[in-house]
Amino acid sequence: MDYALEMRFQALKKQLETTFGPGIDLQIMLFLIGVEELGQGYRNFKKHEKTDLMHVAICTLLEPYGYYKYIGNDEENWPHFELVKEIPPLTEEEQQALMKEAIVEYFEHHDYSTIAVQP
């Protein structure tokens, strides 16, 4: 594991926990990113919507790596993506590292203080 990446990720996690409370993990970060990308603010989401939010987050995070391309929003204003290239087989550790890197980059690019998701 890349030590510098892990330090950046842990610093982000600690910062998020000051806003959203303890126990933030990758799944919660994906949920927060999905809510942010949906752009409708926080509300009570149905179970399938939570899954969709995480999918939106993953596509958003992997778009800069060339794996997905944003193709537009549907009639309910949910973003949609198309797979551009297959993600290569990764070990669980490699998947975690990729997601951590993408999440850190996302929050740095979007300036965490401007993320509109409310606890």
**Amino acid occupying residue 65:** Y
Q: What is the chain's alpha carbon radius of gyration, rounded to the nearest angstrom?
A: 14
Q: Round to whole Å and give the CA distance between 104 and 22.
A: 18
- pTM recorded for the entire structure: 0.88
73 beta partners = 79
User: 53-109 pLDDT, tens per residue?
Assistant: 999 999 999 999 999 999 999 999 999 999 999 999 999 999 999 999 999 999 988
Where are the domains positioned within the chain?
3-17+24-111
On whether the CB atoms of residues 61 and 103 are closer than 8 A, the answer is yes
User: What's the maximum distance between 2 C-alpha atoms anywhere in the chain?
Assistant: 43
Tokens of 113: 């203080």
User: 8-61 pLDDT, tens per residue?
Assistant: 999 899 989 998 899 999 999 999 999 999 998 888 999 999 999 999 999 999
